[in-house]
Structure 1
Amino acid sequence: MTTNRRQFLKTSAGLTLGVFLPLQADAAGTLHTPNAWVHIADDNTITLLSARSEMGQGVYTAMPMLIAEELGVDIRKIKVEIAPVAPVYTNALLGGQLTGGSTSVREGWDKLRIAGAQARTMLVSAAAARWKLDAAQLRAADGKVTGPGGRSATYGELAADAAKLPVPEKVTLKEPKDFKIIGKRTKRLDTAHKVNGTAEYGIDVKLPGMVYASLEQCPVIGGKVASFDGAKAKAMPGVIDVVQIRDGVAVVADSYWRAKKAREALAVQWDEGAGARIDNAAMRDGIRKAADATIPIKKTGDAAGVLKSASKKLQAEYWSPLLAHATMEPQNFTADYRNGKCTVIGPAQFQQGTQGNVAAALGIKPEDVTVKTTFLGGGFGRRLEYDFAVQAAEISKAVGKPVKLLWTREDDTTHDFYRPMALHRMAGALDASGKPVALTLQLTSQSVTQRAFGLPKGTLDPFMAEASVVPYAIPNMTQELIEHDSGLRVGYWRSVSHALNAFANESFIDEMAAAAGKDPYQFRLSLLGEQPRFAKVLKLAAEKSGWGKPLPKGHHRGIALMEGYDTYMAQVAEISVDKDNAIKVHHVWVAADLGQMVNPDTVEAQIQSSIAFGLSSTLGAEITLDKGRVQQTNFHDYPVLRMNEMPKIDITLVPSGEKPGGIGEPATALIGPAVANALFAATGKRVRQLPLSADHIKSA
C-alpha cells in the first residue's frame, strides 16, 4: 500500500471496494480489502473494474450483469474499465491475472455477485445510519436506497458514507428465482462502441510523439541476428532509426507503411540455430518414436488384460496438425519507455505475464511497468503470450520515443506459438454382443505448460488431459500421455487439448459402433445410463437434427459428445462431399448444458463463433514446416472459414441450476469429430488425420 484508507477517502469522491482508483494526481496504490471490483462515484456513476480482457466473448456485458443483479441497477448504468495489474485480480482457476480457459464467468460467478452484494449492504447501512432507521426497513434498487416516509438517496449520495464502513464478510445473495438480470437475454454493452468506432483496439492506440515500427524476425523461430546492414533502410523517406533487439531488426519510421517498406530493404544475416532442422516429417517421426516416460491420466479396471484376450478388438492412430491462432487483428503493442519506467498498451490476455516479462527485458522492476489493456481483435490463446509487447518496449527504449509495433499477417502466421502436433494411439475391445468392454487412449504431444510455465518434465500437464476420459460405461479403460518436446515453440489454442482428445475419442467410439454393427447415436446412448447430463444433451441433439430420418440425397450426419469446462455438449453435423472430395457442412445442431447461464444471447454467439473457428481447422487449416520455416503465410494458404462456408446452426440450451460452465471453447473441440463421423457415413472412409482435406480423404 502506498496510501492509507483516510488518504484514500479524502481523494476519492465515492465508494470503492478494494481498489484505489487514480482519481487524483496524488492517488495511487491498492487497498487490500475483500474485493476490488466496484466503484460508485458521487455523480451516481457505477464502474466495474473487469479483471478479464474483452476479446469478443462478452465479458464486458456478463461481468456487469453479475454486479448489477446484486446492486439492483440497470446494467446499462454500469461502465466497464479494465483492471490494472494487481494480485487481487488473479484468476483463481488459472493462478494468474489472465483471461482464458473459459473461466471468466465460472471464476467471477460468486466473486462478482458478492462484490455487488457487499456494495449494496454498505449503501443500505449508510442510509440507515443517516436516517437513524433499521436497515431492514430500507430497500436498494434502481440506483437508490429508499425507506419509509418517502426517504430516498442515490447510491452516489451515500457512497462517501458507505466507504467509511467496514466491508461485510458475509452477505446474502439473491436466489436464482429472484434474478431479474442474470439468465435474461441482454444486448452487449460494447456493441455501439465497436460499431461507431470509439472502441479502442491495440491497433488503434495513438500517443503524442508516437512513431511506428516494423520488425524483421528470423524466418526460423528461435534464430538470432548474426549481422545486418540497415543503411538502405535508414536512407528511405520517413525512417527515424534502425535498431537491433533480441528478436530481430526493427525499422522505426513516422508511419507504419514507411517502416514496413524500409524493412524490405534490410540485409540481415541470420544464425538460424537448431530450429532449422525441424520439418513436419521429422516431427511426426519423433512423436511416433518418442521414448519419453508414460504419464498416467486415469485407469479403471484392466484394459490391457481384456485387450489381450478379446475376441474382437480395434486399433487406430489419429493425427492432429500444428495450428496457428490466426487472430483477425495481427499482433501489435504500443510502448513508451522513459526515465526507467515503461507503459505498454495493447491487446493482452495475460497482464501479469506481460508486466513481468517487459520488466525483465528492460532491466527494471515490475512495478515500474504499467500495463493498459485495450479490446482484443481475437485472442484464442495467442495473446497469452507477450513477445510482441516485449519487442515494442525494447524498441521504445532503443529509440527514446513511444513506439507502436505492428506485425504483418505474414509475421503473425510464421511466428506464432502453434498448437502442438499430436498422435493418439487408440485401442478398444467388444464382447460377443457388441458391447464395449475396454478402451485405451495414449496421447503423444508437446506440453505447452512446460514451455510456458516451467512445469517439471514427467509431471502430468492437466491441459493435455482435457476430454481424454470418455463418459461411457466401459468397465476397463486406461488413459495416458507422453510429453514429447518436438523443438518448436507451442501455445495454448482455443479449447487446448479438448480438441485433440475429442477428435480421437469420439471418432474411435464411432469406429467401435460400426464394428458392433450399431447406430452411433444409439451406441453412445446405451452407455450413458449413469450420466444424465450427457444423455440429455445427446438425446436433444439427435432429436433436433432428426437423427434416423431421411436426408436430402448425398447428405449425411455425424454425432459427437463431450464435457469441457463444466459444460456438457453434443453436436450433430450434416454434410455432403463432392466428386473432388471437398466437404460442405450444411447444418449443425448443438445441445448444451452449461449450468446457470448469465446471458443466453452471448452463449449462443460463443457457440456459433466456436463452430466457425473449429471448422477452419477441421476443413483446411494446417501449419507445416520445412527447414524450420513455416510454409503458410496468409489466409490464401492458411484458410479460415468464409461467410459462404458457414453452416446453419441450431442451438438448444438446457435450463439448469447447476454451477456455470464455460462456453467460449467447447464447441470448437466437438465440431471436428462430428464432421469426421459424418464423413465416414458419407464415404465409408475413416479419415484419422486433420484437416479433413481432399488429399487426406483420398488417401484414407
Structure 2
Amino acid sequence: MSRLGKFARRSFLIGSAAVVGGVAFGYYMYKRPVANPLLDNLAEGEAALTPYVLIDATGITLITPRADCGQGAYSVQAALIAEELDVELDQVRVDPGMPGPAYYNTALSAEAAPFRSTDDGFVADSARGVMDAMIKFVGLQITGGSTTVPDSFDKLRLAGAVARETLKAAAAQQTGIPVDALKTGRGMVELPSGETLSYMELAPIAASIDPVNDVTLRDPSTWRLVGKTMERIDIVAKSTGTQRYGIDFEMDGMVHASVRTNPRRGGVMNAYDAAAAREMRGVQQIVEVTGGVAVVADNTWRAIQAVNAIEIDWGPAPYPAEMDQHWQALSDSFNDDQIDSRKRDDGDVEAALTGADVIEAEYRAPYLAHAPLESISATVLVGDGRVDVWTGTQIPRFVQNNVADIAGVAGDDVHVHVQVMGGSFGHRLEDRVVREATEIALAIKGTPVKLTYSREEDMTHDDTRQIAMARGRGAVRDGKVQTYDLGIAMPSIVASQMGRQGLPMPGPDLQIVAGAWEQPFEIPDYRVTGYRAPELSPITSWRSVGASTNGFFHDVFLDELIHAAGADPMEERLRLCWHTPSRKVLEAVAEMSDWGSPVGANQGRGVAFCLSFGVPTAEVIEVTNTDDGIRLDKVWVAAEVGTVVDPVNFENNVQGGVNWALGHAINAEVTYADGMVEQMNYYDFEGLRLAQAPQIEVRGLENGEHVRGIGEPMVPPAAAALSNAIFAATGQRIREMPMRKFIDFA
C-alpha cells in the first residue's frame, strides 16, 4: 500500500494555503495533516519529531528532500531547520530521506496557476490554493523551478520550531521544570540552574509525547543563520575532492553496464550483431533494453568499449530528419489555428499598427543540451519483492513509480536513495537512465547493476531545451514605445516532458510564453501570443525553461523599439514599468553600473530585464569591440527575492547562472542531421571559457513580500543584455543564438 492515505498518530501539518470555500477538493482533506514517513520504521530510542528532524543517541539528522545539484540546496534547507531548532550546522547530519508525499513541493503551485506572479488578487490566490491542494493530494515531490527556498522557507523553520518545543516539553516532563523556564541552544535544553540536557538524551521521551504544534517563528532580528554568510555544509568535501556523487556509488558484487539506444530519438532497433562484443575482455552479458542494447561488464570502460563494438541497424527518426525542417515547422506555426495562448492582449494592436511605421524582427534560439559535468548514471538492485535505486534525481517519486511498473512490484517496495549531483540544469528531471538500469538489473536479479552513459550517449540522447522562434511587430510615437506585438512558436515543453511520465497535457502550455507575457510593462497596445508548434525531437526543462528563450526574444525586441523611439534604454524601461519591486531592480542596476556615464571607445552597455519565477531581474553588460572580437568586460545584476537566505551562496548562484547563460548564448547549439544529434561531446558544445568570463557584481534586493529562489531567474536576461550591449558597441543587432555565428568573440 502506498504511504499516500496512511496517517500516523503523530503527524505534521504541511502547507497553509486555503482552498476557497473548501469545495474544490474538500477543505477538510486539504487541511488534514500529512503523515510523517519517518515514523514507519523508527528504531528504539529514535525520535522523529517532524518529517524533517530525526534524533537518536548518536546525533541529529535533518531531512532535506529538495535535491542538491550543486546549487547548495542541502545547506539552505539545513540552515532553515537549524535556525529554529537551535543547532549549528556542524552539529547535524543531512539526509535527503526516502521519497514520500509528505515532501510535496508547495511552491510549485505558483508556477502551475495561470496568473502573473505580480497578481495577488483574490482569484489568483484562490487558484494557487487549488493548485497547492492538487499537488499535496498527489504528493508531488519535485526539485525545480527555483522553488527550493520558496517551498522551504516557512515549512522547514516551522519543522525546526516544532522539534525544539517538543524537546523542551520532554525536558519539562523529565525535570518538572515549566517549559517557560527552559531555553535552548547548540542542541541542548538549558535549565534555570545552568545544567543542560542534550537533544539526544531527550529523544526517547520526545518520541513518546505528541509534538508541540502550536509554535511561533522567531523574529528576523534574532536570526543566527538566515541572512548571514555561512559555510556550506559541502564546502570542505568539494574543496578536497572527497564529495561522493551518484557516479561514485559502489557496493559489493556490483557489475557495470553501458548502453546504446537509437540515436534517432524514439526510433526502433531493427537488428544487432554483438558477436565481437561478446569476445571482448570483461564482458559478462548482452541485454536488450527499450530502443537499444546494453553490455554488462566488470568495469565501466570495458562496458562502453564493448557496447560501441556492437553493429546495429537503427530505424528512422519519428521527427524531421534535418535541421532546416525543424525551423520550417516553427515558421509554419505562426497561424491562428496553432494559437496556444494569448494571455496578454492590451489595447488594440491591429488598429495601432494600421498605417503606422511598423518595426519588425525575427528571433531564433536553438536546441541546447544540459551537459552536466558528472556523467549520468544509476545503480539498481532487483531483489525478491524489493528494488533499490541509487541515483541523482530531481523526481524521486516518479522514479519510484516507474521502477515499480518495470519491475512488477508495489511502489512502496522501491527504495530510492537520492545521491548528490554534479550538475543537472534540468537533466535530472528525466529518468531514462534509471529505467534502463532497471531493465538490465531484471535480467540479473540479485546483482547490483551500475549503468553509466558515455559522454557521447548522453549528449546525443539528451532531452534538450526547446527550439524556439519569435516574431515581433511594433511601433513608436513621440519618442515612446506605443505598440508591442510578440508571437512565440515552440513545441510544448510540458507535453514532451510529462508525456514520458505517462501524464496528459491539458490546456495551454504557458511555458511557450513564460518570461514574455507576464512582464510588468504598461505599453498602450501590448500583445503576446504563444503558437504551439508540432512535437519535434524530445525536449524538457532546461535552466529557466520557457523563459530561457523568451527572455531573449522579449527584451531584445523591446530594446529595438526603444532605439527606434530615440529613448534611453534604461529610462524607457523605467517609464514603462508599473511594478514597484521591478522598478527598484532596474534602479539598482542603473546605480550599480553608473548607467549614463560615458563609455570608452568601441565600448557599449546593454540592459535587459525579465521577470521569471516571480523574480524581477535586471542585468547590465558592458563589452568592448576589440580587434579579436567582442570582449565581455563586466556584468551587473540586481534581483528581488524577498529574503536572501545565504548572501554568499546567492551571489555564487547568480554569477554561475550568468556565465552559464552567456556561454550558451555565445557558443552552443544542438543540431540534427539524418535525425541524429551532431554534437558529440564538450569539444563541439562549448561553454564560456575562463578567459572570456566577465567580472560580475551582484545585488540581492529584499523589498518583496514573497520569498523567491534564484537558481534560474538570472538566465533569461543575460543573452538579451549581451545582444543589446553588442548593438550599443557596434551597431549590429544579434537576433539569433549562438551569437558566434554572426560576430567574433575575443
User: Partners in 2 of 1:398 and 1:617 — Cα distance?
Assistant: 40
**1:357–1:544: structure 2 CA closer, same or farther, 3 Å change rule?**
same
User: Partners in 2 of 1:496 and 1:418 — Cα distance?
Assistant: 11
Match of 1:180 in 2: 224
Aligned runs of 1:318-467 on 2, under 5 Å?
A: 318-400=363-445, 401-431=447-477, 433-454=478-499, 459-467=507-515
Q: Please state if 1:680 is matched with 2:727.
A: yes
**1:76–1:303: structure 2 CA closer, same or farther, 3 Å change rule?**
farther
User: Partners in 2 of 1:649 and 1:591 — Cα distance?
Assistant: 11
Q: Which moved more, 1:448-457 or 1:502-511?
A: 448-457
* Letter aligned with residue 450 of structure 1: A
Q: Please state if 1:287 is matched with 2:330.
A: yes
Q: In structure 2, which of residues 230, 238, 247 is the aligned counterpart of residue 194 of structure 1?
A: 238
Match of 1:639 in 2: 686
Q: In structure 2, which of residues 580, 592, 595 is the aligned counterpart of residue 547 of structure 1?
A: 595
Q: Which moved more, 1:614-623 or 1:303-312?
A: 303-312
Q: In structure 2, which of residues 232, 240, 262 is the aligned counterpart of residue 218 of structure 1?
A: 262
Native 8 Å contact 2:52 2:62 kept in 1: yes
Q: Please state if 1:314 is matched with 2:359.
A: yes
Secondary structure of 1:686 counterpart:
coil
Secondary structure of 2:512 counterpart:
coil
Secondary structure of 1:185 counterpart:
coil
User: Partners in 1 of 2:703 and 2:8 — Cα distance?
Assistant: 42
- The Cα of 1:300 is off from its aligned counterpart by 4.4
Q: In structure 1, which of residues 235, 244, 250 is the aligned counterpart of residue 279 of structure 2?
A: 235
User: Partners in 1 of 2:597 and 2:506 — Cα distance?
Assistant: 49
User: Partners in 1 of 2:400 and 2:338 — Cα distance?
Assistant: 35
Match of 1:278 in 2: 321
Q: In structure 2, which of residues 228, 241, 253 is the aligned counterpart of residue 209 of structure 1?
A: 253
Deviations 1:502-540 (A, max 9, x none): 101110111111101111111112222x32211222122
Match of 1:508 in 2: 557
Q: Which moved more, 1:251-260 or 1:87-96?
A: 87-96
Match of 1:583 in 2: 630
Native 8 Å contact 1:20 1:27 kept in 2: no
Secondary structure of 2:301 counterpart:
helix
Deviations 1:108-158 (A, max 9, x none): 111101100101111112222223233222212221112323343121222
**1:63–1:678: structure 2 CA closer, same or farther, 3 Å change rule?**
same
Q: Please state if 1:89 is matched with 2:108.
A: no
Secondary structure of 1:640 counterpart:
coil
User: Partners in 2 of 1:471 and 1:4 — Cα distance?
Assistant: 44
* Letter aligned with residue 82 of structure 1: P
**1:691–1:138: structure 2 CA closer, same or farther, 3 Å change rule?**
same
User: Partners in 1 of 2:199 and 2:624 — Cα distance?
Assistant: 59
* Letter aligned with residue 534 of structure 2: D
User: Partners in 1 of 2:729 and 2:192 — Cα distance?
Assistant: 71
Aligned runs of 1:554-569 on 2, under 5 Å?
A: 554-569=602-617
User: Partners in 2 of 1:271 and 1:360 — Cα distance?
Assistant: 26
Secondary structure of 1:479 counterpart:
strand
* Letter aligned with residue 441 of structure 2: S
User: Partners in 1 of 2:165 and 2:355 — Cα distance?
Assistant: 65
- The Cα of 1:79 is off from its aligned counterpart by 1.3
- The Cα of 1:6 is off from its aligned counterpart by 9.4
- The Cα of 1:437 is off from its aligned counterpart by 2.4
User: Partners in 1 of 2:635 and 2:305 — Cα distance?
Assistant: 45
Q: In structure 2, which of residues 64, 74, 89 is the aligned counterpart of residue 60 of structure 1?
A: 74
User: Partners in 1 of 2:481 and 2:177 — Cα distance?
Assistant: 69
Between the two proteins, what is the percent identity of the paired residues? 35
User: Partners in 2 of 1:298 and 1:82 — Cα distance?
Assistant: 38
Native 8 Å contact 2:255 2:299 kept in 1: yes
Deviations 1:197-241 (A, max 9, x none): 432211101111111111122121112221111111111111101
Native 8 Å contact 1:213 1:250 kept in 2: yes
Native 8 Å contact 1:97 1:351 kept in 2: yes
Secondary structure of 1:263 counterpart:
helix
Q: Please state if 1:658 is matched with 2:701.
A: no
* Letter aligned with residue 474 of structure 1: I
Native 8 Å contact 2:246 2:377 kept in 1: yes
Secondary structure of 1:680 counterpart:
helix
* Letter aligned with residue 293 of structure 2: V
Q: Please state if 1:252 is matched with 2:271.
A: no
Secondary structure of 1:250 counterpart:
strand
- The Cα of 1:310 is off from its aligned counterpart by 5.7
User: Partners in 2 of 1:350 and 1:612 — Cα distance?
Assistant: 26
Native 8 Å contact 2:78 2:89 kept in 1: yes
Match of 1:527 in 2: 576
Match of 1:39 in 2: 54
User: Partners in 2 of 1:273 and 1:533 — Cα distance?
Assistant: 47
Secondary structure of 1:317 counterpart:
strand
Native 8 Å contact 2:498 2:504 kept in 1: no
Native 8 Å contact 2:556 2:723 kept in 1: yes
User: Partners in 1 of 2:381 and 2:289 — Cα distance?
Assistant: 16
Aligned runs of 1:5-44 on 2, under 5 Å?
A: 19-20=38-39, 22=41, 24=43, 35-43=50-58
* Structure 2 residue ranges without an equivalent (≥5): 12-34, 109-134
**1:149–1:362: structure 2 CA closer, same or farther, 3 Å change rule?**
closer
User: Partners in 2 of 1:227 and 1:364 — Cα distance?
Assistant: 31
Q: Please state if 1:498 is matched with 2:551.
A: no
Native 8 Å contact 1:17 1:39 kept in 2: no
**1:456–1:219: structure 2 CA closer, same or farther, 3 Å change rule?**
closer
- The Cα of 1:187 is off from its aligned counterpart by 0.9
> What TM-score does the superposition give when structure 1 sets the normalisation length?
0.93
Match of 1:12 in 2: none
**1:223–1:425: structure 2 CA closer, same or farther, 3 Å change rule?**
same
Native 8 Å contact 1:303 1:440 kept in 2: no
Q: Which moved more, 1:257-266 or 1:227-236?
A: 257-266
Q: Which moved more, 1:142-151 or 1:80-89?
A: 142-151
User: Partners in 1 of 2:414 and 2:509 — Cα distance?
Assistant: 31
Native 8 Å contact 2:45 2:57 kept in 1: no
Match of 1:115 in 2: 159
- The Cα of 1:551 is off from its aligned counterpart by 2.6
Q: In structure 1, which of residues 666, 671, 682 is the aligned counterpart of residue 718 of structure 2?
A: 671
User: Partners in 1 of 2:330 and 2:372 — Cα distance?
Assistant: 28
**1:63–1:531: structure 2 CA closer, same or farther, 3 Å change rule?**
same
Deviations 1:649-670 (A, max 9, x none): 1112224463221101111111
Deviations 1:336-355 (A, max 9, x none): 11224321111111111111
User: Partners in 1 of 2:465 and 2:144 — Cα distance?
Assistant: 15
Native 8 Å contact 1:679 1:686 kept in 2: yes
User: Partners in 1 of 2:640 and 2:187 — Cα distance?
Assistant: 34
